[in-house]
Amino acid sequence: MRAWRCHGFGDYHALTVESLPVPQAAAGEVRVAVRAIAPGFPDMLMVQGLYQLKPPLPFTPCADFSGVVVEVGEGVAQFKPGDRVMGVVRFGAAADFLTVKASELLPLPARFNFASGAAYLVAYKTAYVALVVRGGLKAGETLLVHGAAGGVGLAAVELGKHLGATVIALASSDEKRAVVKAKGADHVLDAREPRFREAVKALTGGRGADVIYDPVGADVFDESLHCIAVFGRLLVVGFAAGRIPQLPVNLALLKQISIVGVRAGEYGRQFPAGGQAVNQALVALAEAGHLTPHIHRHYGFDDLVRVLDSIAAREVIGRVVMHWQE
C-alpha cells in the first residue's frame, strides 16, 4: 500500500510516499480502506516535532479519516466489511489502509460523503467538548470565537448557534468573514484589529462575552481578558499564534472568571464513557443536518506537502481534504 512517511522531525517538505505492507486487523480491531483524510495544523506540528506527542520514527502522519471496512478482527461485532466509517487516530491516516480499534470507529452519517466524514470529527469534537462539556454554554449567552475561519473555529460558530448562543466571531479577511457569517455568526469582526475589546463590549451592552473560545493564544488571549463577562469562561483551545500567554490572576479574581483548558482527544482517553457520549452526540447532530464541515479545497493522495503549505500560509477556510477512490 502507499503511505506518507516521516523519517525525521523538522521540515515537512521531507515527507515521502513509500510502499508498505498492508496491516492486518488484530482482535478488537478493524482494517479500513482509507478514502479521505483531512490534514490539520496539529498534523503539521507533529511532523515538525513541535506537538506534545512525538511518535517513534518513522511514522505515517495525519489523524482524521474516512473509508470502508475491509476486515474485522476477532470479537468485533458492530462493524462488517463494506461499512462506511469515519474516525480519528493520533497518527497513521495518510495511507491506503489503516487498522483502528473498533471502539474508536464511527459510522459515516448517511448524508456525508467521504470528504465530509474526514473533515468532521477532530474539528467538531473540539468544539463540542469545549462548548458543551467544559464551557457549559447556554442558550441566550454570548459566545466569542477567535480563529473563526479555521476548522475548529467554524465548528464552534456553527455549534454555538445550534446551542442558542449569540455568536461574535473574528476572522482576518473579507473572504473568511463571509464564510463565517454564512455559518451563522451574528457579528463578525476583523481579526486584524488588535483591540477588539471595545467592539465586543459595545455588542454586549458592556457585559462582555460569557464564553470565549480561543485557539489562538498570545495577544488574543490577553485582549480577551478585558472583554469577558463576570462569571465568564475563557476556553484555552490552542496557541496557533505561537506565544503561550500568562494570566494575571487578579483579573480572574476580580471578574470571577474561569480559565478552562480543552483537549478533546485527551478528554475521551481520560473519560472513555464521556468520549463515547460526545461521539454519539456528534453523529446524531450530523445525521439531523445540524452540523456540516466547510471544505475549502479538495486534493489527491499525492498532495500532502501542498496541503501543509496551505495550512502553514493560513490560507485554509474550514478544512482541506485529500480524497481518492470516492
Q: How confident is the model at residue 80 (pLDDT cuts 50, 70, 90)?
A: very high
- 3-state SS assignment for residue 116: helix
What's residue 194's pLDDT?
A: 84
- Let me know whether 190 and 256 are in one domain: yes
90 inside domain: yes
- Let me know whether 183 and 150 are in one domain: yes
The yes-or-no verdict on residue 221 having pLDDT over 90 is yes
C-alpha pair distances (Å), 198 with each of 57, 117, 132? 48, 39, 27
**Residue that terminates a domain, selected from 244, 265, 286:** 265
What's residue 124's pLDDT?
A: 97
- Let me know whether 58 and 182 are in one domain: no
Residue of 100, 92, 38 whose CA lies nearest to 68: 100
278 inside domain: no
Q: How confident is the model at residue 308 (pLDDT cuts 50, 70, 90)?
A: very high
What's residue 104's pLDDT?
A: 87
Plot region of 164 (φ>0 → left; ψ -120 to 50 → alpha; else → beta): left
- Let me know whether 145 and 220 are in one domain: yes
**Residue that terminates a domain, selected from 217, 247, 265:** 265
271 inside domain: no
282 inside domain: no
Q: What is the per-residue pLDDT across 139-176, written as a single tens digit (0 to 9) for each?
A: 999 999 999 999 999 999 999 999 999 999 999 999 99
Q: What's the domain count of the chain?
A: 2
Q: What is the per-residue pLDDT across 25-72, written as a single tens digit (0 to 9) for each?
A: 999 999 999 999 999 999 999 999 988 889 999 999 999 999 999 999
pTM, full prediction: 0.93
273 inside domain: no
The pLDDT mean for the chain works out to 95
The yes-or-no verdict on residue 211 having pLDDT over 90 is yes
- Let me know whether 199 and 304 are in one domain: no
Q: How confident is the model at residue 324 (pLDDT cuts 50, 70, 90)?
A: confident
210 inside domain: yes
- Let me know whether 126 and 258 are in one domain: yes
Cα dihedral 141, 145, 149, 155 sign: negative
- Let me know whether 15 and 76 are in one domain: yes
Average pLDDT over residues 127-143: 98
- Let me know whether 181 and 240 are in one domain: yes
Specify the pairing of strand 319-323 against strand 295-299. parallel
Q: What amino acid is encoded at 4 in this protein?
A: W
- Let me know whether 207 and 130 are in one domain: yes
Residues with Cβ within 8 Å of residue 284, at least 6 apart in sequence? none
**Euclidean distance between CA atoms 156 and 185, whole angstroms:** 10
- Let me know whether 14 and 99 are in one domain: yes
Q: What is the per-residue pLDDT across 266-276, written as a single tens digit (0 to 9) for each?
A: 999 999 999 99
- 3-state SS assignment for residue 2: strand
- Let me know whether 62 and 91 are in one domain: yes
**CATH code at position 202:** 3.90.180.10
What's residue 265's pLDDT?
A: 87
**Residue that terminates a domain, selected from 265, 285, 315:** 265
91 inside domain: yes
Average pLDDT over residues 1-19: 97
What's residue 293's pLDDT?
A: 96
What's residue 325's pLDDT?
A: 67
Q: Which residue is listed with cell 516521516?
A: 6
191 inside domain: yes
Q: How confident is the model at residue 212 (pLDDT cuts 50, 70, 90)?
A: very high
DSSP label of 109: P
What's residue 261's pLDDT?
A: 96
Which residue range is the domain that position 168 belongs to?
A: 122-265
The yes-or-no verdict on residue 128 having pLDDT over 80 is yes
- Let me know whether 162 and 249 are in one domain: yes
